[in-house]
Structure 1
Amino acid sequence: MIDKRNRFAYAGMTAVVMGLGLLSRKIPDVLPDVLNIYAGDALWALMIFLGTGFIFHTMKTSWAGLISLAFCYLIECSQLYHADWIDRIRDTTLGGLVLGYGFLWSDLGAYTIGIGIGVVIDITCRDFRRRKLKHR
């Protein structure tokens, strides 16, 4: 039996994570400094993982994590490139949120943590569902 992710649940979690990520940028005075610096990036990566799980709902968790991590790292590395056309895209709200502005090594760590959290959630939810089905 193929264990499929619940797309409805993943869409909902993605929306919640997007909201938390945007909120984390709006309330910097409320959050501790370490969360101000890294929460948005970790949540962005978690959103990418959840989106990958939504699109590829039958993919193994390890593959979804690796694909998400590669995507996040690629976006971060793209921030080393500064041509006028891409910087104009980054100057828009959506472009800045998706592409970012400047490369930071620390962002790679935040992405790894965010996707790691997603992998743990994914595995935990699948194990819970399997145990629940076993006891029926």
Structure 2
Amino acid sequence: MKSVLIRDRLIYFFAVMMTMAAGLASRHFGERLPGWVHEHFGDACWAGMIYFGVRMVWPHRSLVWAMCLSCVFSWMIEFSQLIQTPWLIEIRSTVLGALILGHGFLVIDLIRYTVGILCMVMIDRYFLRNKMAGS
């Protein structure tokens, strides 16, 4: 049982890393990508990374539970951008702070997060969980 838990967490850890790399690459190579990919993919990947992170910590919780927690967390981060205190602005001015907390509230980001999480749920449901069940 313990080796299954470790294996499942490793699979989700690699999913987090791959999703993070894809999101950062979409920002870095944005001028070489179609406009819609450059505009939306990074935020969708960020939320997808959150989803896989939730799955890594709680691999045997339901997909719906992980999806809801990921959406709530992502949306809370977005709504936190409405708070503009000096210490938060200072944190957001750093690269890491901007990557984690963002800069300003945008309704479209809520849609990007939701779509990103839904896409990762589909990947989880149809690829990752089948791979884990088949081993």
Using structure 2 for the length normalisation, give the TM-score.
Answer: 0.90
Whole-Å Cα distance in 2 between the matches of residues 87 and 94 of structure 1?
13
Q: CA deviation at 1:129?
A: 4.6
Residue in structure 1 matched with residue 105 of structure 2 by the alignment: 103
Matched AA of 1:31: L
The residue that corresponds to 1:122 in the other structure is: 124
| Residues 62-81 of structure 1: pairs in structure 2 closer than 5 A | 62-81=64-83
Match of 2:56 in 1: 54
Which residue identity is paired with 1:121? I
For 1:126, give the aligned amino acid: R
TM-score normalised to structure 1 length: 0.89
Is 1:11 the counterpart of 2:13? The answer is yes
Shift of 1:126: 2.2
Q: Counterparts of 1:90 and 1:84 in 2: how far apart (Å)?
A: 10
Match of 1:82 among 71, 81, 84: 84
Tell me the CA shift for residue 79 of structure 1: 0.6
| Cα distance in 1 between the residues matched to 2:53 and 2:131 | 21
Q: CA deviation at 1:128?
A: 5.3
Deviations 1:85-104 (A, max 9, x none): 10000001100000000011
Q: What pairs with 1:17-56 in structure 2 (closer than 5 Å)?
A: 17-56=19-58
Equivalent position SS for 1:94: helix
Residue 32 of structure 2 aligns to a residue whose secondary structure is coil
Give the paired residue count. Answer: 131
Unmatched 5+ residue regions in structure 1? none
Q: Distance in 2 between matches of 1:129 and 1:22?
A: 27
Structure 2 residues not aligned, in runs of 5+: none
CA distance in 2, matches of 1:21, 1:127: 25
How far residue 23 of structure 1 moved from its aligned partner, in angstroms, is: 1.1
Q: CA deviation at 1:41?
A: 0.2
Post-superposition offset of 1:127: 4.0
Q: In angstroms, what is the RMSD of aligned CA positions? A: 1.8
- For the residue of structure 2 that corresponds to 1:81, the secondary structure is coil
